[in-house]
Amino acid sequence: MTKRQFDFENQYQIMKQKVEDLMEESRIHNIDLSEEIALLENKMARIRESKYKNLSPWERVLLSRSPDRPGAEDYIGFLCSEWIELHGDRLFGDDQAIIAGLGMFHGMPLTIVGHRKGKTTNQKLQYNFGMPHPEGFRKVMRLLKQAEKFRRPVLSFVDTSGAFPGIAAEERGQASAIAETLMAMVSVKVPVISIVSGEGGSGGALALAVGDRIVMLSNSVFSVASPETCSSILFKDAARVEDMAEASKLTAADLLELELIDEIIEEPVGGANQDFENTARLVEESILKHLRDLNDKEPDILVQERFEKYRRIGRVTGA
Amino acid sequence: MFGNNIGKTKYHEVSNFVRGDYEKGRESGSPKMCPSCKTPLAEQDLIQNFRVCPKCQHHLSLGAWERISLLADEETFREFNGDLSSYNRLHFPDYDEKLERAQRESGLPEAIVIGTAYIDGYQVVLGVMDSRFMMSSMGAVVGEKICLAAERAMELKWPLIMVVASGGARMQEGMVSLMQMAKTSAAIERLHQAGVLYVSVLTNPTTGGVLASFASLADIVVAEPRALIGFTGPRVIEQTIKHKLPDNFQKAEFLLQHGMLDLVVDRARLKETLALVLRMHGGRND
C-alpha cells in the first residue's frame, strides 16, 4: 500500500510514549532502568536522524505537502522586522493563493511573493489550497514592476501543487498569465532569489521560481507534474506514484545534480516541519549571502547573466 | 470594408500544397472519415483542402512538412539545426522506445522543424511543431530549437513565425522539460527587446506548458478554427469540477471571445493573413 501521509513522526511519538510509560512503571515499582532507557532513547534519536537522512523521493513529496510544512507567511514572519501585504492585480481581483507585499529584511526593503496554502480548513478554502488563478500571477507581475521602479530585490517562496485547473482560470487566461510572469521574472532588473520551500508543482510553481538564485530546502520537491498525474498518464496507473517520484528526479539533490537549481538548504532532523526556527535561520543566511553577491551587480549585467543561466538549461549539441 | 481579401480565397486556389516539401512529410494513416462530421474522406480531397474536411471545415492535423509546404513559398524553406535529437537524460522508463517509435512514425528527429523561408516573398524564420511526435511535447531539444529559431530571427532581423501544437511539457524529461518554459520565454523576451515581430499560430491542440510559455508571448496570436487551446486539459478540469464542460470550452473561438487571441483564421487563409501581417510590419518583399 502506498503511503499517502508522512507518518514517521506519529510512529516516533508512539515509541516515545512507550519509553515514557516504561519510565513511569520503573518509578512505581522502584526498579532502576535508567541505563536501559537512556540506551533506548539514544537508539530512537539515531533512528530518527537516519530516517530523515534517507527519505525516499515519495516521502519527501509527502513531507513537502504536509499541513505542518511552514509556508511563505511563516518565513516572512521570521525574516522580516516589518511587513505590509499588498493586494490585487488591478484587473480583476485579489488572489489569496499568492501572498505578496513588502518586507523589511535586515534593514533592506524587499518585494516578497509566495504561494500560500493555509493550514486550517477555513484558510485552505480561502487560499484555494495555494492554487493560483491568473489574477495571482498578474499581482506578482504588478509587484515586479514596482520592485524595478524602487530597485528592491525580489524574494519568492514556492509551494503549490500547481495553478488552479478550473473554468474561470482558463477564461481569464491562466496560460498567458503564467507565460507573462515567466517573461517578467526573467527580465526584471533587480536581483531575484527564489526559495522552493514546499511543493513545486508544474508551471504554476515555475512562474514564481525563475531568478538569479534558485534555492531548495532539502525536503522540498519540484516536478513537471505531480507524481500522481505522471503516473496516471504514463503508466495508466495512479497507484505507481512511488516509482514515478523516483523516476521524475524531483528531489533537491537530483535537481542540483541536473544543474537546475543553485543551492540546497539542508533541513535539520525532523525537517522544516518539526524544526522551523533552525530551518528559517538557514534560509535567512542563504538569502543574505545571495543578496550580498547580487546587490553589487549592474542591473544590465544581472539580467544578462540570468538570461544566460536559463539559456544553458538542458543545452543540447548536435547528434 | 478594408481592401484585404482575407476570407475570400477558395481553398484549392491558395498554394502549391501538393508539390515541393510535401513529399518529405508522408502523413501516416489518413482517417477514412472526418472525425467531426463522419463524412467519408478521400486522400485526394484532403490534400486539395490542406486536410480540412470539405463538408464541415473540420481542421485535421497537419504534419510539419505539410504545414511548411502550405506556408512557405515553393522551395524556399531552408531547415537549420535539423540534426538535433533527444536522448533519455533521466533514464526514464520506456522513453527510449517512445522516442524511437515517434521518430519512425513521423519521419522526424524531433517534434519541431525550424528554418528560414519566404512567405509570399517575405523573409521569415519559421518553426513548425508536429503533433505526431509524442504529442509534440516540449523537452530539452524542442525548447532548444525554439530558442535557436528566436535567436536566428534576432540575428537576421526577420520576423519569427511559430506554428504551435503541443500536449505540453515532456514528462519523461522531468524538470529539464519544465525549465524549457522559462528558457523559451527568456528567448522571446530578448526577441521583443530587439524589436523583431513574432507571430504564433496555435493549432489543435495547444495546451499546458507550451501555451503557458512561448506560444502565448507573441505580438500577434493566431489560431485555427476549433483548435483546443488551454492550460489544463479538459479532462482534468472535468475531474476537478465534477461536471461536463460546454462543447466550445477551450476552443479557439472561446479564447477569442475571452480576449486571449487576436484572430481565428481558416487554414486556407492562413498564408495570406500572415503575409498581410508581415507587410504591416515592414517586411522585406524582394
Contact A186 B93 (CB under 8 A): no
Do A198 and A69 contact (CB within 8 A), yes or no? yes
Residue B274: strand pairing partners: none
Q: Do A250 and B209 touch (CB under 8 A)?
A: no
DSSP B198-259: EEEEEEEEEEHHHHTTGGG--SEEEE-TT-BEESS-HHHHHHHH-SPPPTTTTBHHHHHHTT
Residue B9: predicted pLDDT: 37
Interface test with A, best of B95, B134, B216, B231 (most A CBs within 10 A): B231
The residue of A170, A228, A305, A315 whose CB has the most chain B CBs within 10 angstroms, and thus the best one to mutate to test that interface, is A170
- Rounded to whole angstroms, the Cα distance separating A108 from A295 reads 11
Q: pLDDT value at position A265?
A: 98
ipTM, two decimals? 0.93
Residues of A whose CB is below 8 A from B112: none
Residue in A closest to B236 by C-alpha: A165
Sorted by sequence, the CB contacts under 8 Å of residue A304 that are 6+ apart come out as: none
Distance from CA of A164 to the nearest CA of B (A): 9
Q: Which residues of A touch B194 (CB under 8 A)?
A: none
Contact A153, A111 (CB under 8 A): yes
Number of A–B residue contacts, CB under 8 Å: 180
- Interface touch B212/A313, C-beta < 8 Å: no
Residue A212's pLDDT is what? 98
CA distance A244 to A58: 8
Half-sphere exposure of A121 (CA within 13 A, CB side): 0
**Dihedral (C-alpha) A42, A48, A53, A58: value to the nearest 10 degrees?**
160
Q: Say whether pLDDT at A1 is over 80.
A: no
**Cβ–Cβ of A248/B90 closer than 8 Å?**
yes
Average pLDDT, rounded, for chain A: 94
What is the per-residue pLDDT across B91-136, written as a single tens digit (0 to 9) for each? 999 999 999 999 999 999 999 999 999 999 999 999 999 999 999 9
- Judging contacts by C-beta atoms under 8 Å, the chain B residues touching residue A206 are 178-179, 181-182
Can you read off the three cell numbers belonging to residue A169? 482560470
Kindly report the average pLDDT of chain B as a whole number. 88
Query: How many of the other CB atoms lie within 10 Å of CB of A295?
Result: 13
Chain-chain contact of B179 with A206 (C-beta, under 8 angstroms): yes
Q: Is the pTM of this model over 0.80?
A: yes
Cis amide prior to B205 (ω within 30 degrees)? yes
Local structure of A155: helix, strand or coil: strand
Confidence of residue B202 (pLDDT cuts 50, 70, 90): very high
